[in-house]
Amino acid sequence: MKRLRKYKHLISVLAFAGTSFIVGCNGPVNSPQKVTGVDALTVNKPFTTEVKIQEGGAKKLIEVDIANHSGKEQEVKNIGFKLDIGYTISKDAQIMMGCTDMGRQPTRVFSNNKKIDYYSKNFVIVKEKEQYTLAGLLTWNVFLPTFTIENDSIHVTAEGDGKLVGDNKEVDFEKIVVLKGDNWSSLLDQYGKLIYKENGKRALKNDVIFKGWATWDYYVRDFTAKDVDDNIQALNALNTSSNLIQLDGGWWPQRGDYDQTKAGYDMKEVVDNITDNGYSVGLHFDGFRGDTRAQVFKEHPEYFLKDFDGEYKVHTSIRGNGDTLSCTFFDYSNPEARLYIQKMVKNMREEWKVKYFKVDFMRFGLEPGIPFVKGTTPAERFQLGVSAIREAIGEENYFLGCSAVFGPTFGHIDGLRTGGDIFPRYSAVPRRAAANLGNSYLHGNVMNTDADYIILRESSEEDETITVDPHKHSSLSKAETIIWSKFSALFGNTRLDSDKVGILGKDKKALLPQMFDFPRMDKIIALDSWEHYTSNQDSPHIVLSEDNKKTYVSIFNWGKKAQKYTIDGFTSKNGQAYYGDNDVSIENGKLDVPIKGKDCLIIALDKKEDIFGLIKNLKHSAKEVI
């Protein structure tokens, strides 16, 4: 469609094949403009905008182009508008704000009459009785827009982030979709599929399950070659179906120097031992940060981001063992920085046999500052960096994103950590479950999700080799270790234990192979989502999931007291408990089960049911057992 730049205000509608296209333009003023679907659109002078809306059924796609015809280069400072969703949000409506990143801005549910100060950079759902409207971002290429609820409407705002637009040039704002229907779970599923359709650059790796062991939760940064071998041999003795050993942070001398290892640590020896024992090698590294003490920073400071005062940007922090970090931030608008990180990754792949790349602290690729290439936004710098890393990893290998702002990673990664790091204390368990469940719509639609490690140890299952970092010293009871580990095995496609395997109790060692062999779920949906997510700790209890053969019902009683759970509306007659050999009866479509505090029950139904139909139609309740 040709641009309609010569008109100051124009709305035209072209209808064909059951789809409407609506285009609206405004002149070079910063006054609010309106077109069907978008209201009160503002952008800083002297930019003009063109709104394009494609409508079909209960779906609406919204695009906004920002143009500069001022005669010289201009900087985008801000853009904002209100979504016209066809009605004013009632005070009785419930709002679900989608999770933005790994554990820092989790999914939240609240009532519009008790509105909280919250936002999402992914999606928002409005529930009006039994009707739902979802507004979601589909791209994160240049800007990082935010959804908020203001004055009973959905607002979209974004900073310009220093974006420069040349004369007679334009830049696309991020694409937005609006979906409507009577089943929130199917809307979220559709949203996930649309994200992949818009961003997917490669086939989903939905046929892979990783299981094995990782260094982090027990050793943190202080593991040795002997520690790795001890756990390999302990895993071998269990005769599991494990296929991966992951080496986490602590192997490099300084962040950024990723073709080197710390003194006394022979990476080639360690990875040869891993592969000789029949496992693939997984390796963690910090793909978007360096350190002021690193060789690469000393030799090539131009690879790193400057702050707005023109000095190299540095964050200092204290590690759990007392060491000081002095982190710098790769500026991937510099093509030489991209070539450098590719060289590091190719060395890992070719010399160290790495097939599973865990790239951590990805959110730091979005740090504000003065880029090497003037006018490049943080989102653009991130896209350049993650594309370079993906290319170096290779399509045949696995890319797990970690500590990320989610949107900009979509289309580049194969797997995503969707909740914060687990810690071996119970306060972290429901918190991490809530964070992960709020992102389950991504699993199988956009990439694989990853809840974090299985941890089965109690304090009695630790010895003198555990990290000095007190955050990793367990205070979990046996029941608390098991409820988390069963959740971790259910969620996503990665089941890596991160204990000292050889000193786990016999019962834990017997449980681990069952967790490794739990089927990979294709879809995971929390039935009671709208009754939870009121705080970071408020995790749903009832999870429906499915693989290609069966439907599963998982009930997690995160609280201390026993509860009787009633779920009504199944067509199945009975189910089979996964961890155990007992049948579970479903009488007249009703499941009644008491579950002790901090315990769970995972049931495979006797047939595959329509998971979206179950979410819409099941009735459920929980009552404390006296």
199, 222, 245 — which closes off a domain? 199
Domain coverage including residue 96: 10-199
Answer yes or no: is 453 within a domain.
yes
Whether 168 and 69 have beta carbons less than 8 Å apart is answered as yes
Q: What confidence score (pLDDT) does residue 29 get?
A: 39
Answer yes or no: is 611 within a domain.
yes
- Same domain for 607 and 479: no
Answer yes or no: is 471 within a domain.
yes
- Same domain for 362 and 220: yes
Q: What confidence score (pLDDT) does residue 115 get?
A: 82
Tell me what percent of the residues of the chain surpass a pLDDT of 90.
Answer: 90
Query: How far does CA 172 lie from the centroid of its chain?
Result: 25
* The two three-digit tokens of residue 472, written as one number: 């990793």
pLDDT band, residue 75 (cuts 50/70/90): very high
Q: What confidence score (pLDDT) does residue 37 get?
A: 84
Answer yes or no: is 136 within a domain.
yes
Answer yes or no: is 294 within a domain.
no
DSSP reduced 3-state for 17: coil
- Same domain for 193 and 215: no
Mean pLDDT of 134-148: 99
- Same domain for 554 and 472: no
Mean pLDDT of 518-534: 98
What domain count does the chain have?
3
- Same domain for 600 and 561: yes
- Same domain for 220 and 95: no
488, 522, 556 — which closes off a domain? 522
Q: Give the span between the Cα atoms of 458 and 292, in whole angstroms.
A: 38
pLDDT band, residue 543 (cuts 50/70/90): very high
Cα–Cα distance list, 546 to 83, 315, 420, 488, 524 (Å): 35, 43, 24, 16, 7
Half-sphere exposure of 203 (CA within 13 A, CB side): 7
Mean pLDDT of 47-68: 94
- Same domain for 220 and 194: no
Tens of pLDDT, residues 318-352: 876 677 889 999 999 999 999 999 999 999 999 99
Mean pLDDT of the chain: 94
Q: What confidence score (pLDDT) does residue 20 get?
A: 46
Tens of pLDDT, residues 557-605: 999 999 999 999 999 999 999 998 788 999 999 999 999 999 999 999 9
pLDDT band, residue 46 (cuts 50/70/90): very high
Q: Give the span between the Cα atoms of 224 and 39, in whole angstroms.
A: 59
Q: What confidence score (pLDDT) does residue 442 get?
A: 98
- Same domain for 486 and 407: yes
Cα–Cα distance list, 248 to 19, 38, 251, 465, 494 (Å): 50, 46, 8, 16, 15
Tens of pLDDT, residues 288-324: 999 999 999 999 999 999 999 999 999 998 876 677 8
- Same domain for 466 and 512: yes
CATH code where residue 48 lies: 2.60.40
- Same domain for 101 and 223: no
Give residue 237's region: left, alpha or beta (phi > 0; psi -120 to 50).
alpha
CATH code where residue 610 lies: 2.60.40.1180
For the cut 70, the answer to whether the pLDDT of residue 32 exceeds it is no
Answer yes or no: is 573 within a domain.
yes
DSSP reduced 3-state for 291: strand
Q: What confidence score (pLDDT) does residue 19 get?
A: 44
- Same domain for 169 and 266: no
CATH code where residue 383 lies: 3.20.20.70
- Same domain for 549 and 499: no
Answer yes or no: is 385 within a domain.
yes
Give the residues across from 329 on adjacent strands. 289
pLDDT band, residue 124 (cuts 50/70/90): very high
Burial class (CB within 10 angstroms; exposed 0-12, middle 13-18, buried 19+) of 465: middle
Q: Give the span between the Cα atoms of 237 and 383, in whole angstroms.
A: 44
Answer yes or no: is 551 within a domain.
yes
180, 199, 218 — which closes off a domain? 199
* The two three-digit tokens of residue 465, written as one number: 């080799």
For the cut 90, the answer to whether the pLDDT of residue 103 exceeds it is no
